[in-house]
């Protein structure tokens, strides 16, 4: 006989929320937390957590088997949702649409957490205008081996630049290895324009902190702290404040004051400590909505970069090829060592009111610079990150001379995502390995790419 499902009924703001399998372990390798513990955490920090997602479409990242198992992504709202839970129809770059969940209160928050959403992933728009973001998102993502102190230093450079641009940033730990700075903006600019502003900001920070910051999209070209400008492209989400991350200590994305940033340590903020912090100091993001600013200065910076020959940068792979975008191919796969091909094309420039005015003069073509082809090999593919990392360790033991010559940024751990599958790919950049000791490409171990069968079948049908 099938085991009968247990459930606990919570009354949240006058609404009943059913928590299924409340005793199911969600964290067990470090802190011990059940599914009900996770729900209760979010209810304890609901004032802050709901503020970060209220009135926004939410992409559901579901850890249905707990934080230690692989999640899956669900854009469409479940059919069996309560009648009081709102949805909104969102369109995506693919042309598809989906009715996504909108959370407005603690009851809605508890309901999506019961689905396994230990992370909260809101879009950067409000339901009143799904085409014009109200948030510029700055994602500081350190490459492996980068010191946390460098992340803090880059964050302070971001603060200084934002203030020069007339904007206010609101920092928070990502809950993992990086830091986020969110900027409330007026709803005047399209996703393309907001991304353009983010790219200009990333490049300027790279110039100011050249040794520790990078705007390079391809992992094999990065160093230090990557400023991920593409988090501002349409359909991208980042975890919001108070989100739990799937780490053994149940670490949390913690909103901060700028005074805290120079000395902050991300491990200080967990499921066990955040409710007390919120009660003691309140929500550092509480007044964010009062600080909506203008992107005009950042877009002027973007125009100066373009006039100097610095064109667009690569978009995420699932977007169509964009006007002015350079060749969307990693240096390791480049067929020719050619410089940037940024097209010298006109582009509409945002007016002071956020609309489009006459086109600016054609961009100057950037000087041709050699583009080195990186010597990359794939060592592991697996739906399990742990198994992929174990494969990396086996590769290191098999090739100890090569492993000793690797820099931290030469190990590329890619989180791959298809329409319904996620997996981890690990590549090695052999640029720092002497040619006589460079291993050749072997069959990855493990070699379990869930999209391979689909790609092979697609290739045969063409």
Q: What is the mean pLDDT of residues 351-356?
A: 36
Q: What confidence category does residue 422 fall into, taking pLDDT thresholds of 50, 70 and 90?
A: confident
Confirm whether 100 is domain-assigned.
no
In our burial notation (b when 16+ CB lie closer than 10 A, e otherwise), range 171-191 reads bbbbbebbbbbbbbbeebbeb
On whether the CB atoms of residues 9 and 17 are closer than 8 A, the answer is yes
In our burial notation (b when 16+ CB lie closer than 10 A, e otherwise), range 313-334 reads bbbeeebeeeebbbeeebbbee
Confirm whether 381 is domain-assigned.
yes
Confirm whether 32 is domain-assigned.
no
Confirm whether 388 is domain-assigned.
yes
Residues in Cβ contact with 418 at an 8 Å cutoff, skipping those fewer than 6 apart = 450, 451, 454
| Structural domain containing residue 454 | 376-461
Confirm whether 22 is domain-assigned.
no
Rounded to whole angstroms, how far apart are CA atoms 354 and 299? 10
Confirm whether 444 is domain-assigned.
yes
Rounded to whole angstroms, how far apart are CA atoms 8 and 114? 11
Confirm whether 83 is domain-assigned.
no
Strand 225-227 and strand 213-214: pairing? parallel
Q: For 157-167, what is each residue's pLDDT tens digit?
A: 999 999 999 99
Q: For 113-162, what is each residue's pLDDT tens digit?
A: 999 999 999 999 999 999 999 999 999 999 988 999 999 999 999 999 99
117 against 375, higher pLDDT: 117
Question: What is the total count of domains within the chain?
Answer: 1
Strand 135-142 and strand 179-184: pairing? antiparallel
Confirm whether 293 is domain-assigned.
no
pLDDT score, position 361: 36
């Amino acid at each position: 006989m099938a085991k009968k499902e247990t459930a606990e009924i919570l009354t949240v703001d006058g609404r009943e929320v059913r928590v299924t399998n409340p005793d199911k372990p969600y964290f067990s390798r470090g802190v011990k937390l059940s599914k009900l513990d996770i729900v209760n955490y979010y209810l304890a920090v609901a004032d802050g957590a709901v503020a970060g997602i209220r009135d926004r479409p939410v992409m559901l990242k579901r850890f249905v088997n707990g934080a230690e198992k692989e999640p899956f992504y669900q854009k469409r709202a479940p059919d069996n949702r309560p009648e009081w839970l709102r949805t909104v129809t969102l369109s995506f770059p693919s042309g598809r649409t989906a009715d996504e969940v909108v959370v407005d209160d603690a009851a809605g928050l508890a309901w999506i957490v019961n689905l396994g959403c230990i992370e909260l992933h809101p879009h950067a728009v409000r339901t009143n205008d799904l085409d014009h973001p109200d948030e510029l998102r700055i994602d500081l993502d350190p490459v492996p081996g980068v010191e946390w102190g460098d992340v803090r230093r880059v964050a302070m450079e971001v603060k200084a630049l934002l203030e020069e641009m007339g904007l206010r940033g609101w920092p928070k730990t990502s809950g993992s290895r990086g830091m986020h700075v969110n900027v409330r903006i007026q709803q005047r600019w399209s996703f393309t324009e907001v991304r353009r502003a983010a790219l200009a900001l990333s490049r300027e920070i790279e110039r100011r902190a050249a040794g520790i910051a990078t705007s390079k999209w391809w992992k094999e070209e990065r160093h230090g702290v990557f400023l991920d400008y593409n988090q501002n492209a349409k359909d991208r989400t980042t975890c919001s404040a108070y989100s739990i991350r799937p780490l053994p200590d149940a670490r949390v994305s913690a909103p901060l004051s700028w005074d805290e940033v120079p000395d902050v340590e991300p491990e200080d903020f967990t499921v066990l400590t955040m409710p007390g912090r919120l009660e003691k100091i309140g929500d550092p993001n509480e007044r964010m909505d009062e600080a909506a600013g203008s992107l005009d200065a950042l877009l002027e910076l973007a125009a100066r970069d373009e006039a100097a020959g610095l064109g667009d940068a690569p978009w995420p792979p699932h977007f169509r090829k964009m006007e002015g975008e350079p060749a969307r191919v990693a240096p390791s796969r480049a067929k020719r060592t050619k410089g940037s091909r940024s097209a010298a094309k006109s582009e509409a420039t945002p007016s002071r009111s956020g609309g489009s005015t006459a086109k600016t003069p054609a961009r100057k073509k950037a000087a041709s610079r050699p583009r080195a082809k990186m010597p990359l090999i794939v060592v592991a593919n697996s739906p399990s990150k742990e198994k992929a990392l174990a494969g990396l360790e086996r590769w290191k033991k098999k090739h100890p001379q090569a492993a000793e010559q690797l820099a931290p940024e030469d190990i590329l751990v890619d989180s791959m995502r298809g329409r319904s599958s996620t997996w981890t790919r690990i590549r090695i950049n052999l640029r720092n390995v002497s040619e006589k000791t460079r291993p050749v490409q072997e069959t990855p171990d493990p070699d379990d790419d869930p999209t391979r069968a689909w790609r092979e079948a697609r290739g045969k049908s063409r």
